[in-house]
Copies of this chain bind each other. A is one copy, B any other.
Amino acid sequence: MAKKAAKAKKPAAKAKAAKKYVYFFGKGKADGNGEMKALLGGKGAGLAEMTNAGVPVPPGFTITTEVCTGFYENGKKVPTGLDDQMMQYIKKLEDTEGKKFGDSVNPLLVSVRSGAKFSMPGMMDTILNLGVNDVTVQAIIKNTKNPRFAWDSYRRFIQMYADVVMEVSKKKFEHLIDARKEKKGIKVDVDFTADDMKDMVAEFKAFVKKESGKDFPQDPIEQLKGARDAVFKSWMNDRAIFYRKANNIPESIGTAVNVQAMVFGNMGDDSGTGVGFTRNPATGERKFYGEYLLNAQGEDVVAGVRTPKEIENLGKDMPAVYKQLRDITSRLEKHYRDMQDFEFTIEKGKLYMLQTRSGKRTGMAAVRAAVEMAKEKLITKEEAILRVEPVQLDQLLHPVFDPKAEKKVIAKGINASPGAAAGRAVFTADDAVEWTKEKGEKVILVRLETSPDDIHGMDSAVGILTARGGATSHAAVVARQMGKVCVAGCEDLKVDEHSKTMTVKASGLVIKEGDWISIDGTTGQVMNGKVPTMEPKMEGEFGEFGEFMKWVDEFKTIKVRANADIPRDAKVARQYGAEGIGLCRTEHMFFDTDRLPYMQEMILAKDVEGRKKALEKLLPMQRSDFSGLFQTMEGYGVTIRFLDPPLHEFLPKREELMVEVAKMEATGKSQMSNEMLKKSLELISGNGTDLEKAKILLARVVELHEFNPMLGHRGCRLGITYPEISEMQTRAVIEAAIELNKTGKKIIPEIMIPLVGNVKEFLDQKNVVDMTAKAVMAEKGVKIPYLVGTMIEVPRAAVTADEIAAQAEFFSFGTNDLTQTCLGFSRDDAGGFTKAYIEKNIFTSDPFQTLDQVGVGGLVKMAVEKGRKVKAKLKIGICGEHGGDPASVEFFNGAGLDYVSCSPYRVPIARLAAAHAAIKVSHAKKGTKKAEKDK
């Protein structure tokens, strides 16, 4: 066998010798083209493509990926014949450039870069300035008149080359540099003189000799062969292997090596360098946009040592080059059919394009450019839609920090609700209200974590900052709902609500009540002081935004609803194009300060009669809430979820009460000093001291205490054990709907039973709803239609979705709770390990932000399939936080849902994500059809 294989190898090797291993590009013509990514790698194919398109890129050649494959088959040796081919193309390159390797007048310098079929940024090695040696460095000094630059380039080359090719670690050179700095008493590299650089070249060369036992090579051809082989070797370094595994890139494809002439913008006043965009990346305006510097290298533009000029001035400095640049970039934009971000260098009056790629842009620019490019017929409407990433719309809808302002970032948390906010730090909800209403100040509410008790404070604050909890913690969910900025789970901070301070763990910096802080809900950053914010510039751009969203709606197929509990939120939702309410959480209405006492009265009642009495007081309030929602959403569906949270959420916190009672007992005082708690004591009937009443209240709170409230006495379990609550809620819904009906307007209320896991739970509650609705309609003498459906939010509901679908009129996935139960993750506690999980790549993103498509998504698909098998047209939606996440929206679209529902401020994002998803599906279908046709 081994013999045979050896025999077989030789002819193959011979056959290979005849193969073309090297592809040249330069002078407007390339051997390869843009389609040849497998052979030339992505970068090589791109360089060929640009060359063929007449774009003046620095010439060079690509050594194919087949050489890489051969390299590894052949005991890490390049195939015979490669060196000959390479020498041939080096000659061609020298001729093209009019430069020569090792020349003392006009030396050729090249870069050597890897480039596989798929981009693997930073995973493999790159070498610049190859060709510098003791001779050519002098030529560079002469040509650039910049000895420091020449010696610095040489120094860098030695450092890079020794590290990559000669196995002398880069770090060791850093030690030498540090030692020199210390000796000279300087702090940063720029303070080195030309002589320092020259000295370092000598020192580095000696060091290389000492470490590797070899002289640093002076022959550029030897340098090139060493660099080439090192790039091939880097294909199998640990970083690259790991990256390929993580990204499912096969090892067999190999990398190409690109050798490209270096060009210099610092060769005098007929040279220069610059960067630019074909359109304004901040606004999207169609205006040539960029900066340049004459007699400078690329780094100088970025470093900010010299102030670059605006690109228009190049028209005066070098009219022909400017015209050529305008011409080329216009062609590039047409060729790539998108706004381009480009880099160029002018070497002795000759323009070279170093890079061009689709330009990054703000959300505003993305929308405007997309709309305008479509109108220019550069791209189609579909493409225009795909050009804007859904999350980019966030920037259009929320304030941002002034990009020019200085920011003192002191901590980083989870970017829980986007936007920028600055305000005075307050540490309790009551303080938030006081500072805002009485002092007229903007405040950021800082809490360890928030609870429903804090709603009034959150409502007053411009932003919310918590030390605990993740992207779907109470703070995050409510903040998004309210459109407030929120940074959650900021573990860098220690929040002491008692002393009203927060401390930055790392620095010890203490922020007290009233101090200014700023939070960025888009990045998660927390800043000291007041960073100025800018409102989103929707006014001017509204035209394009409005037009864009109209196009979006033309393409999307899945509907987008909003989660809204109160008429104010519902109005915002309508403004942002919501097609109904997918989730009205009725309990949020009960946390209002004027309602909470009745809710508490109900919970503390001794029997059903007592509960009914309290519920009667809540009925008119709840009815009027529903009325408001129905009016705002007239003509659309409104899904009302019945009471969901465990009852203890409406009572004072157990441990707070325990502490108060213990304090009173220890000190012998019978009057409570905590005013908030004192209010709750009023609900305890009879005479008695505060202590006596507090003990009674505590007993009830302890009785209701739960170890795992998430899995406790909540959802439909409340309605089943206290049917009078469901009766009251049904009455409020139906009465409000009848009221609206009388005004000639119409609405079909959708009553949603939460946390159903067993069809019998649903039937129990549906029965209560139907009986009550029947009674109300009989009283009023009006019949109105209504639907009764259920949340699918525990795995058992998904497993038995067929049984439930037979009875329910609609499904709505509660993906927050479904994620909690499917994964066994408490969203309030997962902060302790989610970070480690994402770092270890166990989950690629927070499963509470982006749906876990395999696990939770598996249950969603199962439920849809089982449900629709029983009831083919079953209406199915989703109203968890994932309804506003683009990747999740795409999943739900694919799963065949009728709608997604998200917080009002994310409705545009969800609409765009829905359009993206629909377009992708339609493309996939066309692809399939085409494939079928081609058969």
Contact = CB atoms under 8 A, between A and B. Distances in A.
Contacts of A830: 711-712
B794 A822 contact: yes
A826 B646 CA distance: 13
Interface in A652-688: 654-655, 658-660, 662-663, 665-667
A417 to B, nearest CB: 20
A712 B799 contact: no
Contacts of A821: 711, 795, 821-822, 824
Interface stretch (A114-122, A248-256, A737-745, A855-863): A855-863
Contact of A658 (B655, B800, B836, B840): B655
9 contacts: A654-B655, A658-B659, A711-B826, A715-B824, A757-B822, A758-B823, A795-B821, A796-B824, A799-B858
Interface string A807-851: 000000000010011111110111011001100111100000000
A616 B388 CA distance: 56
B666 A764 contact: no
Highest count of chain B CB atoms <10 Å: which of A711, A757, A761, A800: A711
A732 interface: no
Contacts of A758: 823, 842-843, 855
Contacts of A837: 720
A828 B840 CA distance: 33
B822 A796 contact: yes
Contacts of A569: none
Interface in A749-764: 755, 757-758, 760-761, 764
Nearest to A854: B800
Contacts of A855: 757-758, 795-796, 799-800
Interface of A: 654-655, 658-660, 662-663, 665-667, 706-713, 715, 717, 720-721, 755, 757-758, 760-761, 764, 793-796, 799-800, 803, 817, 820-826, 828-830, 832-833, 836-837, 840-843, 852, 854-856, 858-859
A800 B711 contact: no
Nearest to A764: B840
Contact of A711 (B655, B757, B829, B840): B829
Contacts of A658: 655, 658-659
Contacts of A715: 824
A795 B859 contact: yes
Given A707-B709, A721-B832, A755 B796 contact: no
Given A758-B842, A764-B840, A713 B823 contact: no
Contact of A662 (B663, B796, B803, B817): B663
Nearest to A796: B855
B757 A708 contact: no
B828 A708 contact: yes
A842 B794 contact: no
B842 A822 contact: no
Tell me what chain A mostly uses at the interface: helix, strand, loop, or mixed: helix
A794 B713 CA distance: 20
Contacts of A841: 760
Contacts of A823: 757-758, 794-796
Would you list the 5 A-B pairs with minimal beta carbon distance, nearest first? Answer: A711-B826, A708-B826, A796-B855, A794-B824, A795-B795
Contacts of A761: 842
A662 B660 CA distance: 8
A707 B708 CA distance: 7
Given A757-B855, A800-B855, A713 B842 contact: no
A659 B713 CA distance: 27
Contacts of A859: 795, 799
A720 B840 contact: yes
Contacts of A852: 796
B707 A829 contact: yes
Contacts of A710: 707-708, 710-711, 824, 826
Contacts of A707: 709-710, 826, 828-829
Contacts of A795: 795, 821-824, 855, 859
Given A796-B852, A854-B800, A855-B796, A840 B760 contact: yes
A842 B709 contact: no
Nearest to A474: B707
B833 A713 contact: yes
Highest count of chain B CB atoms <10 Å: which of A665, A823, A829: A829
A340 B97 CA distance: 111
Nearest to A852: B796
A854 B799 CA distance: 8
Nearest to A665: B663
A721 B836 contact: yes
B824 A755 contact: yes
A521 B803 CA distance: 36
Given A654-B655, A709-B829, A821-B822, 5 more contacts: A658-B659, A707-B710, A707-B829, A717-B833, A799-B822
B796 A856 contact: yes
Nearest to A702: B448
A828 B755 CA distance: 18
Contacts of A708: 708-711, 820, 826, 828-829
A665 B660 CA distance: 12
A681 to B, nearest CB: 18
